[in-house]
Chain A
Amino acid sequence: MKDFKKVMFRLGYNVLVVFLSAFFALPILWLIFTPFNEKPTLALEFPLNPTLANFAKVFANDYTINAFQNSLIQSFGATFLVIILASLAAYAFSRVRLPGKGIIMYILVLFSSVVTGIAAMVPVFFLLLKVGLIDTHIGVILVFSGGFLPTAVFLLKDFVDSISTTYEESALVAGASRLQIFKDIIFPLTRPGMVVVGVFTFVQVWSNFLIPFLLLRSSEKMPAAVAIYAFTNDVGIPKIDLISAYSLLYTIPVVAIYIFTNKKYGFRFYGGLKG
């Protein structure tokens, strides 16, 4: 009797796991298989006669290639800016004796989500309009950077905190300047943290739809996330063949970046190294 109960429990548990896995796996399988079908639909079909025709159609469209370029400009731009500024700021926040710096940090993190959130979009739009950055890559990059910087500083500060100050002191005594110390010691030791922050920023910017959609006006500056909306016919019916192929291409940079950084640096959520 007891064994029967145990078996039933195991069975039920496994069925549930299979069901849940299938539920989450379906969209991913659709994303992988559909573009290779001759006539893609919303149903999941295994491509029996795989074809690259859908990709050819995507590449034939200048607009889409251009959109990928824009995505790369904006994502790398914001990532680069966030890493540089956040690491400098994190170093300062970690090392400078400043009264109330914990509260400043907390407030910054708390309000940072507002910058890239919907509520602030109207003022952000007007702000960019006034300074003439509407419909520019710089404008988009700055808004993203502003939004992600506090979180990035917060994450990186933890990394810098875990680096013993004696490294810096020994370098100071050895005759190094502050900038040399940052370059030779702090930067290499916080690099794993910068990688985490960088990947985080890249993925967020790459996948964001709303901000570029609102802040950019001309279609030749739209990033990939926005361009996907162009794949409808005149009456607004989505072209599944283009969308499916395009979606798969759209995920490649994110996956590639993740695999590359994980292989090269490995993701770690602490700084320093054991002496």
Chain B
Amino acid sequence: MTQITGIKLNSIVKRFGDVTAVNNISFEIKPGEFFALLGPSGCGKTTTLRLIAGLETATKGTILFNDQDVTRAEPKERDIAMVFQDYALYPHMTVAENIGYPLKVRKVNEKEKAKKVIETAKQFKIDHLLDRKPGQLSGGQQQRVALARALVHQPKVFLFDEPLSNLDARLRLESRTFLKHIQSKLGITTIYVTHDQAEALALADRMAVLKDGQIRQLGTPQEIYEQPADSFVADFIGDPPMNLIDCRLNPIKGNLEILFPGIKVTIPEEKLVLNKKVDPKKDYIFGIRPEHVILADRKGDIEGKVYAIETLGSMTLITLMVGDSRVRVNTHEMNLGLKIEQEVPIKLNYDMVRIYEKESGLLIK
């Protein structure tokens, strides 16, 4: 069994000319953890991964593998494996040669190499493809070969750069499950870069959400889903996305008036405890996930008018017009008998309401 490695990044900065791709990032990955770097394109997640791989060198800061400084170490000194978005399978080599390549450059003798290649190929159920060239394989098979090649020399750290984005939707789900299984079984420290929030939520033990080269939030998928640290994260995480509605807040005598565009809701103050004093002149963002908006039987907190009903199989997505804003409601009930333009009372789960300052985007509840 290989030694399990923890990784630490200390105030990492990476500049390309005038462009700062990674701006003062620090985080720690525990040994054996599945860690996801999530963010939109150009947020610096791939650069961060490449810095950890040693394909780029940090402008500032240090990278530690188990307290050993590898900031300036060559990739081959780091004992890592990386799976690329396009898999980077060598087109002129057979599957067996591809899988065996990390062993070849490590000068492992032929007999042991052949043994390990077959062993690994069996583990990934590709042992019947060993004589083929990558061009003759399907997308899913190519991905398995890439995984097998990455794992054959039992690396200390496993790096993924969007390995599922070239697969079609169904295969992606299957591969995701397979990845999670393999990683849990082997317990190798894994860093996974993706722009797909569902992938990050599904796979990661912990994750970092990045934007403009900075970490916006670091935590477990559940923490990030339930308590997005700012309005960007709130908007980025979740499908269907969180309802984010501009509003003003006005506290009057133990009550809180929430002024949405075109509608006003008044609730007792203790229902929505804010950790900052409210300024009635400032703009705020009212956030609530679609599953926390509940269709009420008779009397609700607000009334909404049905805008669209979309059946998603296991659930129904209903979009309501509340005042001038659209509000998505997610429910598991199937036959609601709703009609378009119909008035519906709704209740809000105030425990799960998040309020952000519009200007700073910061969470105040």
Residue of A nearest to B102 (CB): A174
Residues of A within 8 A of B90 (CB): 167, 171, 184-185
* Stretch in contact with the other chain, from A140-148, A231-239, A267-275: A267-275
In angstroms, Cα B105 to Cα A177, docked, is 8
A189–B91 CB distance below 8 A: yes
In angstroms, Cα B92 to Cα A155, docked, is 21
In angstroms, Cα B87 to Cα A164, docked, is 11
Question: 4 shortest A-B CB distances, which residue pairs?
Answer: A273-B91, A166-B88, A175-B76, A170-B88
Mask of A185-222 contacts with B, CB within 8 angstroms, 1/0: 10011000000000000000000000000000000000
Residues of A within 8 A of B74 (CB): 172
Q: A43 to chain B: closest CB distance in Å?
A: 52
A171–B105 CB distance below 8 A: yes
Please classify how large the interface on chain A is, using the bins under 10, 10 to 19, 20 to 34, 35 or more: 20 to 34
Taking A169-B84, A173-B81 as contacts, is the C-beta distance between A275 and B134 under 8 angstroms? yes
Mask of B23-64 contacts with A, CB within 8 angstroms, 1/0: 000000000000000000000000000000111000000000
Taking A167-B88, A272-B91 as contacts, is the C-beta distance between A173 and B105 under 8 angstroms? no
Residues of A within 8 A of B153 (CB): 174-175
Residues of A within 8 A of B53 (CB): 169, 173
Count B interface residues, CB 8 Å. Answer: 30
A174–B84 CB distance below 8 A: no
Q: B14 to chain A: closest CB distance in Å?
A: 15
In angstroms, Cα B133 to Cα A275, docked, is 9
In angstroms, Cα B152 to Cα A175, docked, is 13
Q: A231 to chain B: closest CB distance in Å?
A: 47
Question: Can you show 13 pairs from A to B with CB atoms below 8 A apart?
Answer: A164-B88, A169-B53, A169-B55, A169-B82, A172-B74, A173-B53, A173-B80, A174-B102, A174-B149, A176-B105, A184-B104, A188-B92, A275-B89
Residues of B within 8 A of A171 (CB): 90, 101, 105
Residue of B nearest to A176 (CB): B105
Q: B335 to chain A: closest CB distance in Å?
A: 48
Using a CB–CB cutoff of 8 Å, the interface residues on chain A facing chain B are: 164, 166-167, 169-177, 180, 184-185, 188-189, 272-275
B55–A173 CB distance below 8 A: yes
A180–B91 CB distance below 8 A: no
Taking A164-B86, A164-B88, A273-B91 as contacts, is the C-beta distance between A180 and B105 under 8 angstroms? yes
Taking A184-B101, A188-B92, A275-B142 as contacts, is the C-beta distance between A172 and B87 under 8 angstroms? no
Mask of B80-121 contacts with A, CB within 8 angstroms, 1/0: 111011111111100000000110111000000000000000
B101–A274 CB distance below 8 A: no
Q: Is B300 an interface residue (CB 8 A)?
A: no
Q: Is B261 an interface residue (CB 8 A)?
A: no
Residue of A nearest to B106 (CB): A175
List 4 other contacts, CB 8 Å, given A166-B85, A175-B102.
A169-B53, A171-B90, A174-B81, A177-B105
In angstroms, Cα B76 to Cα A172, docked, is 6
Mask of B113-143 contacts with A, CB within 8 angstroms, 1/0: 0000000000000000000001100000010
Q: B70 to chain A: closest CB distance in Å?
A: 13
Q: Is B361 an interface residue (CB 8 A)?
A: no
Using a CB–CB cutoff of 8 Å, the interface residues on chain B facing chain A are: 53-55, 74-76, 79-82, 84-92, 101-102, 104-106, 134-135, 142, 149, 153, 159
Taking A169-B55, A273-B135, A275-B135 as contacts, is the C-beta distance between A175 and B86 under 8 angstroms? no
Residues of A within 8 A of B106 (CB): 175
Residues of A within 8 A of B76 (CB): 172-177
Residues of A within 8 A of B102 (CB): 174-175
B82–A274 CB distance below 8 A: no
Residues of A within 8 A of B142 (CB): 275
Query: Which of A164, A180, A274 is within 8 Å of B135, CB to CB?
Result: A274
Residues of A within 8 A of B82 (CB): 169-170, 173
In angstroms, Cα B91 to Cα A170, docked, is 13
Residue of A nearest to B166 (CB): A275
Q: A253 to chain B: closest CB distance in Å?
A: 29
In angstroms, Cα B106 to Cα A189, docked, is 22
Residue in A169, A177, A185, A272 with the greatest tally of chain B CB atoms within 10 Å: A169
Residues of A within 8 A of B101 (CB): 171, 174, 176, 184
B105–A275 CB distance below 8 A: no
A275–B75 CB distance below 8 A: no
Q: B21 to chain A: closest CB distance in Å?
A: 15
B86–A275 CB distance below 8 A: yes
In angstroms, Cα B53 to Cα A189, docked, is 25
Q: A112 to chain B: closest CB distance in Å?
A: 30
B84–A170 CB distance below 8 A: yes
Residues of B within 8 A of A180 (CB): 105
B55–A275 CB distance below 8 A: no
A173–B75 CB distance below 8 A: yes
Q: B94 to chain A: closest CB distance in Å?
A: 13
Residue of A nearest to B80 (CB): A173
Residues of A within 8 A of B55 (CB): 169, 172-173
Residues of A within 8 A of B75 (CB): 172-173, 175
Residues of B within 8 A of A273 (CB): 91-92, 135
Residues of B within 8 A of A188 (CB): 92
Residue of A nearest to B89 (CB): A275
Residues of B within 8 A of A175 (CB): 75-76, 79, 102, 105-106, 153
